[in-house]
């Protein structure tokens, strides 16, 4: 009887293995004909929305504690998740063809001076951007070339877009191109070349 039970048990195990092995193999037949066109899906969301604002004659002084608040226009509704990118017009130059080229630098920007490091920096909220200067020396020894009449562009982008790392944010022209920002160029002739 034990021999019959062992044989029966072995037969059941063997049969089970055959069933399971045969179930794991899939047969794929030839492709069928093309099906009919499906219904149109819902409209997708718009592309990334970015905004650019420009301020001119931004000046840092002891009177404003070397910081400047740039409020967003009243017509702009910022979101808590938005990210502000700040650029200073550092200098301009003219090409051999007579084209005026603007050189924008992303803030924060650190400059090494004879007196130590000078940094232009910023923070932002959904309502404004605060620009400020910091240095390893007293700021009141700075000249007008460092403090006066800056032209500033602030680009506000959705946080998800910024965090995706899809663009080089250090290059204003690339940011403007990728986000389809309007051309705000003006005649900046005579703008001083900064350090």
pTM, two decimals, is 0.72
Mean pLDDT lowest among 7-21, 103-117, 171-185: 7-21
pLDDT tens, residue by residue, 126-150: 999 999 999 999 999 999 999 999 9
Mean pLDDT of 46-65: 88
pLDDT number for residue 44: 46
Identify whether the C-beta of residue 80 lies closer than 8 Å to the C-beta of residue 171. Answer: no
pLDDT tens, residue by residue, 66-100: 999 999 999 998 899 999 999 999 998 889 998 88
Query: What is the C-alpha separation between 72 and 104, in angstroms, rounded?
Result: 20
Measured between alpha carbons, how far is residue 125 from residues 5, 89, 130 in Å? 79, 22, 9
Tell whether domain 51-179 is in CATH 2.40.128. Answer: no
């Amino acid at each position: 009887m034990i021999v019959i039970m062992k044989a029966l048990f072995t037969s059941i195990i063997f049969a089970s293995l055959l069933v399971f092995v045969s179930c794991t193999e899939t047969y794929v037949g030839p492709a069928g004909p093309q099906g009919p066109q499906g219904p149109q899906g819902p409209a997708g969301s718009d592309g990334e929305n970015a905004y650019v604002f420009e301020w001119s004659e931004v000046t840092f002084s002891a009177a404003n504690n070397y910081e400047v608040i740039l409020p967003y226009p009243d017509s702009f509704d910022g979101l808590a998740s938005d990210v502000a990118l700040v650029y200073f017009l550092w200098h301009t130059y003219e090409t051999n063809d007579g084209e005026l080229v603007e050189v924008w630098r992303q803030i924060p920007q650190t400059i090494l001076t004879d007196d130590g490091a000078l940094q232009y920096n910023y923070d932002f909220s959904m309502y404004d951007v605060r620009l400020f200067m910091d240095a390893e020396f007293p700021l009141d020894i700075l000249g007008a070339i460092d403090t006066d009449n800056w032209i500033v562009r602030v680009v506000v982008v959705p946080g998800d877009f910024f965090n995706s790392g899809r663009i080089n944010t250090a290059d204003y022209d690339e940011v403007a191109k990728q986000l389809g920002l309007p051309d705000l160029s003006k005649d900046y002739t005579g703008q001083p070349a900064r350090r």
